Chain A
Amino acid sequence: MPAVQETIDQVRMIDVDQYRYGFETLIESDKAPKGLNEDIIRFISAKKGEPEWMTEWRLHAYERWLTMQEPSWARVSYPKIDFQDLHYYSAPKSQAGPSSLDEVDPELLRTYEKLGIPLKEQEILAGVRKAGEPSPLDGEADEAGENVYQSGRVAVDAVFDSVSVVTTFKKELAKAGVIFCSISEAIREHPELVRKYLGSVVPPTDNFYATLNSAVFTDGSFVYVPKGVRCPMELSTYFRINEKNTGQFERTLIIAEEGSYVSYLEGCTAPQRDENQLHAAVVELIALDDAEIKYSTVQNWYPGDAQGKGGIYNFVTKRGDCRGKNSKISWTQVETGSAITWKYPSCLLRGDNSRGEFYSIAVSNGHQQIDSGTKMIHLGKNTSSRIISKGISAGNSNNTYRGQVSAHRKAANARNFTQCDSLLIGNDCGAHTVPYIEAKNATAQFEHEATTSKISEDQLFYVMQRGIPEEEAIALIVNGFVKDVIQELPMEFAVEAQKLIGISLEGSVG
């Protein structure tokens, strides 16, 4: 989601409960009946005009899913989900494959407008380039002007409920040879790529939610960056759940060929609702030799009301495969929403000299429950990884960092540095750190640092003494606390993220 400065201000004005994004668009939906069975899966597949192999792939996943148990190891609790009580497909009805914005339902465009998401060309903080973003692929001796262009432009693949409604910037991307489209389109237009890579990082049998997703995923993004290409703009998908009781199952697949680079931004909000909404996405990243993928998320889904009811359940499987030598995958996430977050963006460091990074800010307030972290699996030689996690708990929330770092027998000279900091606001919240560290190779060097602190009365008094009101003072201290991670976000996201953190902590004191 692009960081239009006004986004938050605009949204603030739409004051629905605590949650600032709570409104619903009245677009008639074309939805599948409730429940899950083979027919529903065939229905989804047929709706999307998928080839037979895809339908089979889904059905295999479904068969497997029937034999699986919902995982219970995370530090979260919620009433049992009735998977037969959900719709697995829903599409805005007027959607008939519009080729330009003019053909898009104006109601939909207004929704985006309310959120301040310009689908047309955007003027985002032009001229601002994130300082010191060194990339091993920076070799093209860019002129400054070109860099400004690169970081000032964002291509948006808008996902409205389940169907990609409109895709912009396609032509320019096509010029560079970059494919950026919905996964449905990719299945139809680029079946050879999808068949080769889909499920190659997160196999359909991976875990309960990923398997469910494999069976019923409705849409998501597909990115393919050809050999040696530095993607000329940031790619962004804007998710929004908008249909009552529609579980949303995105599937994203990003492939960076040899020597290529891509930065992908994902941001989401959802309208307010009474019933819990299930979200179980799967994201797969593949970086081949010398390629780099940077994946940034700002997640701000409805966290539930003051009693913790009605928020989004977010069970996500995100995994990146550094398949080639010298490849790099970097995850940056800002998690402020959802009633429950269960999410561990991971890196498989398969290629020699590959590098994985995970930067995370997880903010929980009210009755939110977050169990999130990462896995860095060192398989190749001389692989390195870095984990910076900042958890902020307020209200009655619980915030758990769960991270795994492991070095395979053959992963000579594996290196990891982990820093987990937790900040508590108030006396009724919890912060937990659960690291799993496993080295099967004697040359591995793993470092782990963890701190837990409270915003001290002294600090708060000091800041307020300068005339800064209490909530602003807390936001200031918290934004200082998370600065290391904010710096990793693309500029347009960083501004947004800081504001969101402030909003998320409103009402956390007093």
Chain B
Amino acid sequence: MLEIKNLHARIAEDGTEILRGVDLKVKAGEVAAIMGPNGSGKSTLSYVLAGREDYEVTEGDILFNGESVLDMDPAERSAAGLFLAFQYPMEIPGVATMEFLKVAMNAQRKARGQEELKIPELMKRVRGAAEELDMDMSMLKRPLNVGFSGGEKKRAEILQMKLLEPALCVLDETDSGLDIDALKIVADGVNAMRSPDRAIVVITHYQRLLDYIVPDSVHVLYKGRVVKSGDKVLAQELEKSGYAGLVGEAA
């Protein structure tokens, strides 16, 4: 489903190279975890996947279902089925969460040549998804992410992910800022989305999240490259011995 080939990317403004040849394959139905110390390029990788303009791809390619996405803008990639759950979701003042969901869902449907959702159908879907995430409907009347707690923001991200039904979910540090109860709810939300036609990439600094979202593969990113890959055992080892040993190996 996702194939990253020798991906090099730098910050457009000052030319600082962050990704230095990332190689990664994630199959449909797979949950892949990307781990790594701070500054290894994890968040940059998620931004580059989603098509953020501040980064320039200088070499390599990103294939999504066999096709390069490099010429697509963020909205096109999203409509093609790529979803990024943000580490720091943005506040959108004055735009009710419900309104935002409606615009987003219908924009994607339009891009795929589908009919817009009628309001009752839309409400039904949103209500169902919100209940599964233990979210109060009154929250959906508030402007998106404005004044939301850390946990509420992350839940709102998962809610959007459920409703947009992407083929590829990328979760960037979704565990940061969550207490254990919220973490469980979010993890359950993600696990509920596991499916044979969907790939999930979980980016995290800690093993903790992986106790709840058990990955099929684990990849360690360091200095802009994948330096080690393995299964969930690798994550447990990292939890015990830290990144230091691995980093030494790589260097």
Which residues of chain A (422-472) have a CB below 8 Å from chain B? Answer: 456-459, 461-470, 472
- Complex: how many Å from CA A463 to CA B104? 8
| Contact-residue bracket for chain A | 20 to 34
Q: How far is the CB of A297 from chain B (nearest CB, A)?
A: 21
Verify B50–A465 contact, CB threshold 8 A.
Answer: yes
Verify A464–B73 contact, CB threshold 8 A.
Answer: yes
Do A473 and B75 form a contact, CB below 8 Å, given A457-B54, A461-B53? yes
Do A480 and B143 form a contact, CB below 8 Å, given A457-B54, A468-B104? yes
Flag B31-57 by CB within 8 Å of A: 1 or 0 each: 000000000000000010010111000
- Complex: how many Å from CA A138 to CA B148? 37
The answer to whether the Cβ of B63 comes within 8 Å of any Cβ in the partner chain is no
Which chain A residues border B160 with CB–CB below 8 Å?
A: 466
- Complex: how many Å from CA A210 to CA B112? 54
Verify A477–B107 contact, CB threshold 8 A.
Answer: no
Closest residue of chain B to A458 (Cβ to Cβ) is B90
Flag B81-101 by CB within 8 Å of A: 1 or 0 each: 001101001111111000010
Which chain A residues border B103 with CB–CB below 8 Å?
A: 468, 472, 476
The answer to whether the Cβ of B79 comes within 8 Å of any Cβ in the partner chain is yes
Which chain A residues border B100 with CB–CB below 8 Å?
A: 466, 476
Closest residue of chain B to A457 (Cβ to Cβ) is B54
Stretch from A165-173, A215-223, A481-489 forming part of the interface with B: A481-489
The answer to whether the Cβ of A479 comes within 8 Å of any Cβ in the partner chain is yes
Q: How far is the CB of A122 from chain B (nearest CB, A)?
A: 23
- Complex: how many Å from CA A458 to CA B54? 10
Verify B75–A464 contact, CB threshold 8 A.
Answer: yes
The answer to whether the Cβ of B78 comes within 8 Å of any Cβ in the partner chain is yes
Verify A467–B108 contact, CB threshold 8 A.
Answer: yes
The answer to whether the Cβ of B111 comes within 8 Å of any Cβ in the partner chain is yes
Partner of B93, one of A457, A465, A468, A480: A480
Closest residue of chain B to A469 (Cβ to Cβ) is B75
- Complex: how many Å from CA A464 to CA B78? 8
Verify A467–B104 contact, CB threshold 8 A.
Answer: yes
Q: How far is the CB of A210 from chain B (nearest CB, A)?
A: 35
Verify A476–B164 contact, CB threshold 8 A.
Answer: no
Partner of B90, one of A459, A469, A472, A484: A459
Which chain A residues border B93 with CB–CB below 8 Å?
A: 480-481
Partner of B92, one of A461, A464, A477: A477
Which chain B residues border A482 with CB–CB below 8 Å?
A: 94
Verify B78–A479 contact, CB threshold 8 A.
Answer: no
Which chain B residues border A459 with CB–CB below 8 Å?
A: 90-92
Which residues of chain B (107-129) have a CB below 8 Å from chain A? Answer: 107-108, 111
Verify B75–A468 contact, CB threshold 8 A.
Answer: yes
The answer to whether the Cβ of B74 comes within 8 Å of any Cβ in the partner chain is yes
Verify A483–B94 contact, CB threshold 8 A.
Answer: yes
- Complex: how many Å from CA A465 to CA B93? 17
Number of interface residues of B (CB under 8 A): 30
- Complex: how many Å from CA A461 to CA B46? 12
Closest residue of chain B to A456 (Cβ to Cβ) is B90
The interface residues of chain A, by DSSP majority, are classed as helix
Which chain B residues border A466 with CB–CB below 8 Å?
A: 78, 100, 104, 107-108, 160, 164
- Complex: how many Å from CA A459 to CA B52? 11
Which chain B residues border A483 with CB–CB below 8 Å?
A: 94-95
Verify A465–B78 contact, CB threshold 8 A.
Answer: yes
Which residues of chain A (146-175) have a CB below 8 Å from chain B? Answer: none
Q: How far is the CB of B38 from chain A (nearest CB, A)?
A: 20
Which chain A residues border B50 with CB–CB below 8 Å?
A: 461, 465
Q: How far is the CB of B115 from chain A (nearest CB, A)?
A: 16
- Complex: how many Å from CA A467 to CA B90? 15
Which chain A residues border B86 with CB–CB below 8 Å?
A: 462, 465
- Complex: how many Å from CA A243 to CA B149? 57
Which chain A residues border B47 with CB–CB below 8 Å?
A: 461
Q: How far is the CB of B162 from chain A (nearest CB, A)?
A: 13
Verify A467–B94 contact, CB threshold 8 A.
Answer: no
Q: How far is the CB of B86 from chain A (nearest CB, A)?
A: 7
Do A467 and B95 form a contact, CB below 8 Å, given A457-B53, A458-B90? no
Verify A484–B164 contact, CB threshold 8 A.
Answer: no
- Complex: how many Å from CA A461 to CA B52? 7
Which chain B residues border A476 with CB–CB below 8 Å?
A: 92, 95, 100, 103
Do A469 and B107 form a contact, CB below 8 Å, given A462-B90, A463-B92? yes
Verify B78–A467 contact, CB threshold 8 A.
Answer: yes
Which chain B residues border A470 with CB–CB below 8 Å?
A: 73, 75
Closest residue of chain A to B160 (Cβ to Cβ) is A466
- Complex: how many Å from CA A390 to CA B14? 34
Which chain B residues border A468 with CB–CB below 8 Å?
A: 75, 103-104, 107
Verify A465–B74 contact, CB threshold 8 A.
Answer: yes
Verify B84–A484 contact, CB threshold 8 A.
Answer: no
Closest residue of chain B to A473 (Cβ to Cβ) is B75
Verify B95–A480 contact, CB threshold 8 A.
Answer: yes
Which chain B residues border A472 with CB–CB below 8 Å?
A: 103, 107
Which chain B residues border A463 with CB–CB below 8 Å?
A: 90, 92
Closest residue of chain B to A461 (Cβ to Cβ) is B52
Flag A369-382 by CB within 8 Å of B: 1 or 0 each: 00000000000000
Verify A465–B84 contact, CB threshold 8 A.
Answer: yes
Which chain B residues border A458 with CB–CB below 8 Å?
A: 90
Q: How far is the CB of B106 from chain A (nearest CB, A)?
A: 9
Q: How far is the CB of A459 from chain B (nearest CB, A)?
A: 5
Which chain A residues border B74 with CB–CB below 8 Å?
A: 461, 464-465
Partner of A479, one of B52, B54, B95, B164: B95
Which residues of chain A (474-509) have a CB below 8 Å from chain B? Answer: 476-477, 479-484
Verify A479–B94 contact, CB threshold 8 A.
Answer: yes
Q: How far is the CB of B93 from chain A (nearest CB, A)?
A: 5
Which chain A residues border B78 with CB–CB below 8 Å?
A: 464-467
Which chain A residues border B104 with CB–CB below 8 Å?
A: 466-468
Closest residue of chain A to B52 (Cβ to Cβ) is A461
Which chain B residues border A473 with CB–CB below 8 Å?
A: 75
Q: List 22 A-B contacts (CB under 8 A).
A: A458-B90, A459-B90, A461-B52, A461-B74, A462-B86, A462-B89, A462-B90, A462-B92, A465-B50, A465-B77, A465-B78, A466-B104, A466-B107, A467-B78, A468-B75, A468-B103, A469-B111, A470-B73, A476-B92, A479-B94, A480-B94, A480-B143
Other than A464-B74, A465-B74, A465-B78, give 10 A-B pairs with Cβ distance below 8 A: A458-B90, A463-B90, A467-B111, A468-B103, A468-B104, A472-B107, A473-B75, A480-B143, A481-B94, A483-B95
